[in-house]
Structure 1
């Protein structure tokens, strides 16, 4: 997994900010390219509307302190944490 991918960097920065640690303290477990079925990046929120367009991005799995965190991204400008236990919608 390349820590250099913009999508991975974005997820690392978001998680580090949430946890109050340095991005270097977070392990990248996986970064898989996916095509999200809409602009919700596979994590729609109730009451929100999303553009109905295929959105290329990544599913990024990070680990810190023995806990895993999943982020869904677009090409590298937007990311959402999506590890609430429900399966996300995506195609490979």
Structure 2
């Protein structure tokens, strides 16, 4: 007679830790909306090379450094509305409204 070791249940994958940039963007949006950060969903977050110092969010009448800038674009959702946060070149994530 052989004894069998019961199979252990498959382990669920551990979610990747949230990046600091995403955590900052989530906290900022929650603060703006007066909600808990847990109510903010991360739709996407990706590294991106911005074409200039506007970090993809130019303001009329402003001039920007004309150089490629490494950064991130994070899209968050709260209450059915999506919000884009941009960062790069040492700048903290900011809500891009343009």
Q: Do Structure 1 and Structure 2 share a fold, with TM-score over 0.5?
A: yes
1:72 is matched with which residue? 86
* Correspondence for 1:53 among 67, 78, 95: 67
* Structure with greater Cα Rg: 2
Q: Tell me how far 1:43 sits from its aligned partner.
A: 0.6
The answer to whether residue 8 in structure 2 is matched with residue 20 in structure 1 is no
C-alpha contact 2:87 2:93 (8 A) present in aligned 1: yes
5+ residue gaps, structure 2: 1-14
C-alpha contact 1:3 1:9 (8 A) present in aligned 2: no
* CA-atom RMSD in angstroms: 2.2
2:44 is matched with which residue? 30
What SS does structure 2 have at the residue aligned with 1:18?
A: helix
Q: Tell me how far 1:32 sits from its aligned partner.
A: 1.2
- Distance in 2 between the 1:80 and 1:62 partners? 12
5+ residue gaps, structure 1: 85-92
Figure out how many residues of one structure are paired with residues of the other and give that number: 84
2:55 is matched with which residue? 41
Q: Tell me how far 1:28 sits from its aligned partner.
A: 0.5
